[in-house]
Structure 1
Amino acid sequence: MKIGLFFGSFNPIHVGHLIIANQMAENSDLDQVWFVVTPHSPFKKKSTLLDNYDRLEMVHLATKDYDNLKPSDIEFNLPQPNYTINTLTYLKEKFPNHDFSLIMGEDNLKGFHKWKNYELILEYHSIYVYPRIAEGTVDTQFNSHPKIQRVDAPIMQLSSTYIRNAIKEGKNIRPLVPEHVWKYIDDMQFYR
């Protein structure tokens, strides 16, 4: 089975995440997309994150009606801060019959050469890239790399930060997140 790994803090997951993941599942050779909820990225401040299991629950609520989109807590038990190469190694050991690929926005591809062991990632895994509006250029080595595949998808300018700030300001964010997620955020009074 070919699995695309969509990493993120999903703080909270929103309709933009679902649109990208569904686009990858429907318009590439991926069988499933796993939303890998990251406990703590080496590049983000941890203080703004909701509890790991609350974010996982929101991903579960958002994906429950999609057969080919799955939540994953695979990084919760790995040493922190974690690096993608470690997760990929662990997943390959745990699921030897699956072929794992990365899903990332073009903005992340621009900094991919800074990732720990990025050469090893490219040696053993494909990368599916969706378009993003961002400054800078993609390193020339990635422009026509055989392991990097660009997948056409709508450009999403929606961000979790925007949603958190809107909630804090008392604005209605209901159209921006799946209905079950909106209810969970509202019931738990998150981000206020």
Structure 2
Amino acid sequence: MAEQIKTNRPYPIQLKLRDGHSAAIRVMGPDDLDRIIDFARSLPADDLLFLRTDITDRHVVQQWVDNIRNGHTITLLAEVDGELAAYASVHLDQARWTRRVGEIRIITSSRYRGAGLGRRLAAEVFDLARSLGLKKITAQMTTDQTAARAAFEHLGFQVEAILSDWVEDRRGRARDLLIMTYDVAGFSDRIVA
């Protein structure tokens, strides 16, 4: 069994938000399972439409915790005044041929959108992904998620692909999937055909 990923940065840390609040950023652990479920259940239904997994389901969140314990995922939680306000994860691909690639996933409570929390947390988890030695970092979202796309573009991510009708939301509607990537080492730029 793999060991839980260690970070180079000493968490918890404090981030000052644009709205004057302060957010405590810390690493998620097994004791956060119920907090994640409560957070997910407090999200607007439209936010849940775009999640890759149903994090309102205890079994799904338990798998997430197991992935953290096994070193396949690291998740940062953002708390404002003791309330879970957002999370950001780096998911490591276990397939040998893509193990140098990691995926970032982020969601912010609607209450804290516009305060800069999502963008700051994205930057934090992005730095974490780079410190893990990943060569390429991906982010996936539907084309409807314009704020998420803007946050990743601000970090230097570029659109890699748009896959038409690739995903289905919780209501059964087909959506286009946007895949954005960041080439950490400039590897793609050095490939000669």
Q: TM-score, normalised by structure 1?
A: 0.30
Greater per-residue strand proportion: 2
Greater per-residue helix proportion: 1
The answer to which structure, 1 or 2, has the higher relative contact order (CA under 8 A, 6+ apart) is 1
Q: TM-score, normalised by structure 2?
A: 0.30
